[in-house]
Amino acid sequence: MKTFNGRVAAITGAASGMGRALALALAREGCHLALADKNAQGLAQTLDLIRTSTLSPVLVTTQVLDVSDRQAMYAWAARCMAEHGEVNLVFNNAGVALSSTVEAVDYADLEWIVDINFWGVVHGTKAFLPYLKASGDGHVINTSSVFGLFAQPGMSGYNATKFAVRGFTEALRQELDLQRCGVSATCVHPGGIRTDICRSSRIDANMTGFLIHSEQQARADFEKLFITDADQAAKVILHGVRKNKRRVLIGRDAYFLDLLARCLPSAYQALVVFASKRMAPKARMPVFETNDEPRL
Ligand X SMILES: NC(=O)c1ccc[n+]([C@@H]2O[C@H](COP(=O)([O-])OP(=O)(O)OC[C@H]3O[C@@H](n4cnc5c(N)ncnc54)[C@H](O)[C@@H]3O)[C@@H](O)[C@H]2O)c1
Smallest gap from residue 95 Cβ to ligand X (A): 2
Contact 66, 72 (CB under 8 A): yes
- Cβ nearer to ligand X, comparing 31 with 94: 94
Contact 8, 82 (CB under 8 A): no
Q: Is 17 in the site for ligand X (CB under 6 A)?
A: yes
Q: Which of residues 56-115 bind ligand X (CB under 6 A)?
A: 66-68, 93-96
Smallest gap from residue 270 Cβ to ligand X (A): 24
Question: Residues 113, 116, 149, 172: which binds ligand X (CB under 6 A)?
Answer: 116
Question: Residues 54, 61, 145, 152: which binds ligand X (CB under 6 A)?
Answer: 145
- Cβ nearer to ligand X, comparing 54 with 195: 195
Q: Is 156 in the site for ligand X (CB under 6 A)?
A: no
Q: Is 240 in the site for ligand X (CB under 6 A)?
A: no
- Cβ nearer to ligand X, comparing 17 with 153: 17
Question: Does 74 qualify as catalytic in the annotation?
Answer: no
Q: How many residues belong to the site for ligand X (CB under 6 A)?
A: 29
Measured between alpha carbons, how far is 75 from 72 in angstroms, rounded to an integer?
5
Contact 147, 222 (CB under 8 A): no
- Cβ nearer to ligand X, comparing 116 with 135: 116
Residues 6+ apart with CB under 8 A from 95: 13, 116, 117, 120, 143, 145, 161, 197
Measured between alpha carbons, how far is 138 from 120 in angstroms, rounded to an integer?
19
Q: Which of residues 124-143 bind ligand X (CB under 6 A)?
A: 143
Smallest gap from residue 190 Cβ to ligand X (A): 4
Q: Of 90, 225, 252, give the one whose Cα is nearest residue 155.
A: 225
Catalytic residue among 107, 131, 158, 268: 158
Q: Of 71, 68, 94, 113, give the one whose Cα is nearest residue 10.
A: 94
Question: Residues 88, 125, 156, 195: which binds ligand X (CB under 6 A)?
Answer: 195
Q: Is 15 in the site for ligand X (CB under 6 A)?
A: yes
Q: Is 13 in the site for ligand X (CB under 6 A)?
A: yes
Q: Is 238 in the site for ligand X (CB under 6 A)?
A: no
- For 195, other C-beta atoms within 10 Å of its C-beta total 23
Measured between alpha carbons, how far is 150 from 60 in angstroms, rounded to an integer?
36
Residues 6+ apart with CB under 8 A from 32: 6, 7, 8, 9, 58, 59, 60, 84
Residues 6+ apart with CB under 8 A from 149: 166, 189, 254, 257, 258, 261
> What residues are labeled active site?
158
- Residues found near ligand X in the complex (CB under 6 A): 12-13, 15-19, 37-39, 42, 66-68, 93-96, 116, 143, 145, 190, 192-193, 195-197, 200, 226
